[in-house]
């Protein structure tokens, strides 16, 4: 028996677990709200029925009160007719007495009808409060259910994303990315090394060419600067000498003319044997 009891408990726990897995909270909430709305419909119908009974009780009460008043008025009319001589006094008293008896009967019904009407009113008030509270609760639960549905969707989407992130194979995807990064770093380093080699080769070629024509760039620059400095000094000295010569009158017009002609002489004539120019001076 102990084994069977344990098996029964195990089967019950497994069945409850399976039912819990099958239950969808969102669907269960919707079903609960639908059931509440059905209860609200029943309550509204019950309220309508009770209100109808209350209306009937109120009509019966008002009718009894009005009939009692009418019978009293009829009795008074019979008595007035007898006083005016329109009918016999005995007949008038008889009819008036009958009217008062019926008034008494209606008067006796009025408390019962009043009590019945008050009971209906109490039930109506109670049902109206219940219906109002139930409507308020259903509206509140609908709003909460709507919000919970939105939260459920967000949480489900978040859970799926986190599940996907958690399910990434670090030994495959991450290692692949690391290998890709390493390969890119190697390619960048190789490209940079080729650039440095190219720059070193160009520098060596330039230095070799400069050495072939007589020096380095620094030496050529220093030589050019020295030549420019010497040419400037010579130009200054020549200008000073000419100024002195002109001021002293040492240079004659003839010498100036000869110098001008010598400056205009073609270079080719000087290179062809460098024959001296022997021309007769027209002034001589």
Residues 31 and 115 in one domain: yes
Here the CATH number for the domain that contains residue 140 is 1.10.287
Total-model pTM = 0.45
Question: For the chain, how many structural domains are there in total?
Answer: 2
Percentage of the chain modeled with pLDDT above 70: 63
Residues 161 and 33 in one domain: yes
Residues 156 and 27 in one domain: yes
Least confident of 5-9, 137-141, 272-276: 272-276
Residues 158 and 223 in one domain: no
Residue 266 pLDDT more than 60? Answer: no
Neighbours of 68 (CB within 10 A): 20
What confidence category does residue 276 fall into, taking pLDDT thresholds of 50, 70 and 90?
Answer: very low
Residues 226 and 162 in one domain: no
**Residue 221, CA atoms < 13 Å, CB-side half-sphere:** 3
pLDDT tens-digit series, residues 30-39: 788 888 888 8
Task: Outline where the chain has alpha helix (H).
Answer: 2-22, 25-83, 89-166, 175-212, 217-248, 253-264, 267-271
How high is the pLDDT of residue 10?
53
* DSSP annotation of 226: H
- The rounded distance, in Å, linking the Cα atoms of 224 and 86 is 164
Residue 214 pLDDT more than 70? Answer: no
Domain carrying residue 242? 215-260
pLDDT tens-digit series, residues 48-103: 999 999 999 999 999 999 998 998 999 899 889 888 888 888 888 898 899 999 98
Contact criterion met (CB below 8 Å) for 145 and 78? no
């Amino acid at each position: 028996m102990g084994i069977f009891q344990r098996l029964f408990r195990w089967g019950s726990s497994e069945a409850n677990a399976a039912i819990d897995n099958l239950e969808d909270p969102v669907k269960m909430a919707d079903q609960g709200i639908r059931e509440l709305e059905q209860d609200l419909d029943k309550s509204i119908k019950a309220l309508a029925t009770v209100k109808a009974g209350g209306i009937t009780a109120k009509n019966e009460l008002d009718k009894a009160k009005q009939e009692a008043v009418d019978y009293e008025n009829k009795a008074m009319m019979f008595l007035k007719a007898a006083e005016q001589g329109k009918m016999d006094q005995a007949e008038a008293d008889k009819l008036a007495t009958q009217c008062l008896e019926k008034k008494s009967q209606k008067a006796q019904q009025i408390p019962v009808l009043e009590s019945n009407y008050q009971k209906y009113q109490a039930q109506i008030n109670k049902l109206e409060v219940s219906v109002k509270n139930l409507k308020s609760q259903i509206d509140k639960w609908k709003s909460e259910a709507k919000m919970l549905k939105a939260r459920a969707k967000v949480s489900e989407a978040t859970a799926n994303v986190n599940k996907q992130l958690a399910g990434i194979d670090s030994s495959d995807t991450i290692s692949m990315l690391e290998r890709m990064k390493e390969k890119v770093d190697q390619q960048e380093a190789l490209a940079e090394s080729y650039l440095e080699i190219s720059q070193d080769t160009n520098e060596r070629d330039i230095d070799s060419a400069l050495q072939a024509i007589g020096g380095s760039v620094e030496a050529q620059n220093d030589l050019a600067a020295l030549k420019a400095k010497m040419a400037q000094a010579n130009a200054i000295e020549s200008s000073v000498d000419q100024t002195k010569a002109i001021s002293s009158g040492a240079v004659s017009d003839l010498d100036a003319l000869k110098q001008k002609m010598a400056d205009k002489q073609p270079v080719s004539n000087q290179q062809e044997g460098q024959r001296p120019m022997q021309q007769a001076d027209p002034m001589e």
